[in-house]
Amino acid sequence: MVEVTFERRDGVLFVSASGRLEAASAAGFLRDVRAETGDDDRAVVMDFEKLEYLGSAGLRVVFMTASELEKRDAGFAVCSPPKPIAKVIKLSGMDQLIPVHPSREDALAAL
């Protein structure tokens, strides 16, 4: 199960995920992110600092969110992934498609 909280700063929606983003939780997570993302948000940053597991369904949600935001010229990034999550992102090749930053501040500066 994944728990999600939202915070806005400087026109950026930060989505903090904790727990497990996997097949059982991916659809609900995507629904929550879509519902919270507003037309005024210039970017979305997924903060994975407290994420324990990222499965293939979770990777798909990350990619879908990035693709949807790109279509409306909004930015997207991932920040603060723990080493095991960063490894999954790298092994999947997602880091070649989506910016991954070590901290919220770095992500915000890059956007």
One digit per residue, the tens of pLDDT, for the chain of length 111 reads 999 999 999 899 999 999 999 999 999 999 999 999 999 999 999 999 999 999 999 999 999 999 999 999 999 999 999 999 999 999 999 999 999 999 999 999 999
Q: Which value, to the nearest 10 degrees, does the dihedral of the CA atoms of residues 90, 92, 96, 99 take? A: -70
Number of structural domains found in the chain: 1
Distance separating alpha carbons of residues 58 and 23, to the nearest angstrom:
7
Pairing of strands 75-79, 2-9: unpaired
Distance separating alpha carbons of residues 64 and 71, to the nearest angstrom:
11
Residue 64's CATH number: 3.30.750.24
pTM greater than the 0.85 cutoff:
yes
> Residue 35 sits in which domain range?
2-110
